[in-house]
Chain A
Amino acid sequence: MEYFLIIISAIFVNNIVLAQFLGICPFMGVSSKLSTASGMSMAVCFVITLATVVTYLLNQYLLVPLNLTFLQTISFILVIAALVQMVEIVLKKFSPSLYQALGIFLPLITTNCAVLGVAINVVSKEFAFGGSAHMLNLAESTVYAFATSLGYGLAMVLFAGIREHLAGSNVPKPFKGLPIAFITVGIMAMAFLGFSGIV
Chain B
Amino acid sequence: MANKLSLITKGFFKENPTFVLVLGMCPTLATTTSAMNGLEMGLATMFVLILSNIVISLIAPVVPDKVHIPVYIVVIATFVTLLELLMKAYTPDVYKTLGLFIPLIVVNCIILGRAEAFASKNGVLDSALDGIGIGLGFTMSLTVIGIVREILGSGAVFGWKFMPGDGALAFVMAPGAFLVLGYLLVLFNKIAKKN
Name A's B-contacting residues (CB within 8 A).
Answer: 18-25, 28, 70-74, 77-78, 81, 107, 110-113, 116-117, 120-121, 174-175, 178-183, 185-187, 189-190, 192-193
The answer to whether B173 and A186 have CB atoms under 8 Å apart is no
- Total A-B Cβ pairs within 8 A: 119
The answer to whether A20 and B30 have CB atoms under 8 Å apart is yes
The answer to whether B174 and A73 have CB atoms under 8 Å apart is no
Chain B 159-195: CB-based contact to A (< 8 A → 1; otherwise 0): 0000000000010011111110111011101100100
Cβ-based interface call for B63 (8 A):
no
Known: A116-B106, A120-B103. A190 touches B26 (CB 8 A): no
Count of chain B residues with a beta carbon within 8 Å of a chain A beta carbon? 41
Looking at B53-61, B77-85, B130-138, B150-158, the stretch in contact with chain A turns out to be B77-85
Known: A21-B26, A182-B182. 11 other contacts (CB 8 A): A21-B177, A70-B81, A72-B103, A73-B77, A74-B80, A74-B106, A116-B106, A174-B186, A174-B190, A174-B193, A193-B175
Inter-chain CA distance A180–B183, complex, in Å, is 8
The DSSP consensus for interface residues of chain A is helix
Cβ-based interface call for B2 (8 A):
no
The answer to whether A73 and B182 have CB atoms under 8 Å apart is no
* Chain A neighbourhood of B94, CB < 8 A: none
* Chain B neighbourhood of A28, CB < 8 A: 22, 25
